[in-house]
Amino acid sequence: MIIVTTRQMQQMDKNTIESFGIPGRVLMENAGRGAIEMLSEHFDLEGARVAVVAGRGNNGGDGFVIGRYLMEMGVSVSFFLLSTRDRVQGDAGANMDLILDLLAEHALSQFIEIPDKDALEAVTEILLDHDLFVDAIFGTGLNADVRGIYRDVIELINDSDKAVFSVDIPSGINADTGAVCGVAIRADATATFAFAKAGHILYPGNFHTGDLEVVDIGIPGHIAKAQSPHIFLPEPHDIAGLIPARAFNAHKGSFGHLLVLAGSPGKTGAAALCANAAMRSGAGLVTLGVPEKLMPVMEPMVVEPMTTALAQTSSGGLDAAALDDIITLLADKAALALGPGMGTDSGTQELIKSILAIASVPMVIDADGLNCIAKNPDILATVKAPVILTPHPGEMARLTGKTTADIQQNRMETARNFAEKQKVILVLKGAQTLVAYPDGAVFICPTGNPGMACGGMGDVLTGMIAAFLAQDLSPESAALAGVYLHGLCGDLLAEDHAFGFSASDMVAGIPQALTTLLS
Ligand SMILES: NC(=O)C1=CN([C@@H]2O[C@H](COP(=O)(O)OP(=O)(O)OC[C@H]3O[C@@H](n4cnc5c(N)ncnc54)[C@H](O)[C@@H]3O)[C@@H](O)[C@H]2O)[C@@H](O)CC1
Ligand SMILES: [K+]
């Protein structure tokens, strides 16, 4: 599913009206007529008393069109305008005037202005005496936190427990981030126009949107196309299409040899999870390079991956002295996974820095690999090979010098800006992991659940993405397939266990997730 930003949607509306010549009034009519179809399918309108609650912008205008169609269907409609009539202008004003003309013939319908608190108090009882609310207060034009009578009305509607249908987006939700701007309508269903907006999909906006339908309002295809890059919500068939079918005569050499550099004392599990996840995700061969003294511990933890002992620092992490061996190891490798549980010894950090500068295979960098980059951000400019970074919000904060709260409030923008600027593929982990490409495209991962909020899950993800790199998927596809399948794997486990499943359970569940995706 393609998702657009508010700015892109406004530009599309503008271009359709100004360069293509379809009047805004026609777009508003198409929007209202499309929305009424969804409304009629979702709610029983027989004998229902409907309240259209309108703001003074074009979202309110859509509400007036919907209300007009309802009146024509014989439904009794009350219009509550959260402003005064003289402040409603343009296409919205024209549609309001049609309602005012029609009222004479519809005795059961009414039009009430609510410009202030006193007016609201006077009509609260009448407002609440309806069965269904059509929320046309704010759409994509919301530009500040919701206060005053807007806030009061939204709270009254939410507390009423009546059915609510939102026009374009639940009023109070930021259409670009999904954030609640003070307070926001909780809708049972929402009809949006032309394209879904990120605010419908991103938390917490997704919980306010209810069932979502996209109404075609007649934006021409070439005008929509000109607005790339887009945001995407991938569907299962999009991801399945990224994973090549296996030839009948395939052998282990057909699916790439991955090198994993990971582990330090106390963090052997990260290395094992990453290497094992890579095997389970279809890599032909996996070699795990670990500090030499960890070999006796690591060998029993990884059966299928091969292990290689590498020089270690005095506290047991991988040392810069291992570089020559690693260069030799990389010679026949298809991909590299770097970072899980490597630690932050200065020798290890020096090693990571050198590897980034010389490696020519595509790589996934996680955990301590990211911490090394955070200390030397310029190092990314020296990397020759395609790079996928997989930070969680804390690591992203270190990479950008911002706070974790800043990152979480602007996940989309942060991921997109970083990927564009640094020319890397950026996987920003968390609920609704984002995959941002250097060309500005961003994918929102629809899979995953809170049961996955525990240690080791990131190491599994690194191994999965790296395995897809080894299997010769493009870095863009490998990152997307890995993230999606990782979430799907967690979702399949959550069918039987709400939480309490482990990263090792995830490793074991990868083949089932692959089967589910590909069947
Ligand atoms: N040609 C177009 O642009 C089309 C627009 N459409 C509708 O138009 C909507 C966008 O319309 P507008 O840009 O007029 O904006 P809205 O109708 O979303 O709201 C803007 C109005 O609310 C005010 N406002 C914003 N935030 C506020 C706050 N926190 N507190 C109080 N007042 C606030 C603004 O000053 C403005 O008057 C879309 O969501 C969609 O429903 C559709 O009719 C399709 C065509
Ligand atoms: K709305």
Q: Which of 68, 157, 78 shows the shortest CA–CA distance to 113? A: 78
Q: Which atom of ligand 1 is nearest to the CA of 10?
A: 3
C-alpha to C-alpha distance for 200 and 215, rounded to whole angstroms = 14
C-alpha to C-alpha distance for 147 and 28, rounded to whole angstroms = 27
**Interface predicted TM-score (ipTM) of this complex, two decimals:** 0.98
Asked if 292 contacts 300 with a C-beta cutoff of 8 angstroms, the reply is no
pLDDT of residue 229: 81
Phi-psi region of 203 (alpha: psi -120 to 50; beta: other; left: phi over 0): beta
Ligand 1: which residue has its CA nearest to atom 36? Answer: 57
C-alpha to C-alpha distance for 201 and 286, rounded to whole angstroms = 37
Query: 373 forms bridges with which residues in the sheet?
Result: none
SS3 242: coil
pLDDT tens, 315-327?
A: 999 999 999 999 9
By the 10 Å C-beta count (0-12 exposed, 13-18 middle, 19+ buried), 250 is classed as exposed
Ligand 1: which residue has its CA nearest to atom 11? Answer: 58
Ligand closest to Cα of 157 equals 2
Q: Which atom of ligand 1 is nearest to the CA of 27?
A: 45
Query: 36 forms bridges with which residues in the sheet?
Result: none
C-alpha to C-alpha distance for 305 and 101, rounded to whole angstroms = 77
Does 341 appear as a known binding residue? yes
Mean per-residue pLDDT over the chain, rounded? 96
Does 385 appear as a known binding residue? no
pLDDT band at 10 (very low <50, low <70, confident <90, very high): very high
Ligand closest to Cα of 83 equals 1
Q: Three-state SS string across 149-213, please?
A: HHHHHHHHHHHHCCEEEEECCCCCECCCCCCECCCCCCCCEEEEECCEEHHHHCCCHHHHHCEEE
Place of tokens 């701007």: 181
pLDDT tens, 332-354?
A: 999 999 999 999 999 999 999 99
Backbone angles phi, psi at 174, to 5 degrees: -70, 120
pLDDT tens, 121-173?
A: 999 999 999 999 999 999 999 999 999 999 999 999 999 999 999 999 999 99
The residues lining ligand 1, judged by C-beta closer than 6 Å to any ligand atom, are 13, 24, 27-28, 31, 55-62, 138-146, 150, 167-168, 193, 217
CA of 11 to the centre of ligand 2 (A): 19
pTM, two decimal places = 0.94
CA angle 30-186-108, nearest 5°?
60
| Domains of the chain as residue ranges with CATH | 19-228 (3.40.50.10260), 250-518 (3.40.1190.20)
Tokens for 485, please give them. 């399948």
Examine the pLDDT at 376 and tell me if it is beyond 90. Answer: no
Asked if 279 contacts 258 with a C-beta cutoff of 8 angstroms, the reply is no
C-alpha to C-alpha distance for 447 and 68, rounded to whole angstroms = 40
Ligand 1: which residue has its CA nearest to atom 33? Answer: 142
